[in-house]
Amino acid sequence: MQHILELATNTPMGLFDITSDIEKLLELSKIDEGIVNVYAQGATAAIMIQENWDDSVQSDVINLLNKLIPNGIWLHDQQDGNGDAHLKAGIIGPSETLPVIKGKLGLSTWQNIFFCEFDGPRPNRRIVVTINSTG
């Protein structure tokens, strides 16, 4: 099963919790055992599994990336001013793969799935969710 999620982002950089969207798709699939792959289409976006309880963790991720990869100093900035967004997305990575265990995402209590926006705001970001059964 494969589905495209669409997401509008409202900030230049941010982590957007998409866990409930993925859980709904998994429930529709009726798969009991397998894997879910979540893939961000776009060279300036990423997918991350991170702490879900305290929003300061998501802010810390953005702050760390901004310190490591500041805006405005990269060769690509001469093209369209978003060289840092490409580098941040590349470091985090475009996808995550999770196990399906007894019909549920194999996340721990404190983990959620986040879409990472590094070049927003954007009216339409696409996330490809692929669910495969291994049972």
- Predicted confidence (pLDDT) at residue 108 exceeds the cutoff of 90: yes
Nearest to 99 by CA among 53, 52, 51, 131: 131
Angstrom CA distances, 6 to 11, 88, 115, 122, stand at: 16, 21, 11, 11
- Predicted confidence (pLDDT) at residue 135 exceeds the cutoff of 80: no
Residue 61 Cα to chain centre, angstroms: 13
Nearest to 19 by CA among 50, 42, 55, 44: 50
Structural domain span for residue 124: 2-133
**What average pLDDT does range 51-63 have in this prediction?**
93
Q: Domain of 40: which CATH number?
A: 2.60.120.460
Q: What is the CA radius of gyration of the chain?
A: 16
Q: How many CA atoms lie within 13 A of 20 on its CB side?
A: 3
**What average pLDDT does range 89-98 have in this prediction?**
98
- Tally the domains of the chain: 1
The CA-based angle 57-121-67, given to 5 degrees, is 45
Percentage of the chain lying above the pLDDT 90 cut: 94
**What average pLDDT does range 88-108 have in this prediction?**
98
The pLDDT-based confidence of 57 (bands split at 50, 70, 90) is very high
The pLDDT-based confidence of 68 (bands split at 50, 70, 90) is very high
pLDDT at 52: 87
pLDDT (tens digit per residue) in 4-21: 999 999 999 999 999 999
Q: How many CA atoms lie within 13 A of 74 on its CB side?
A: 16
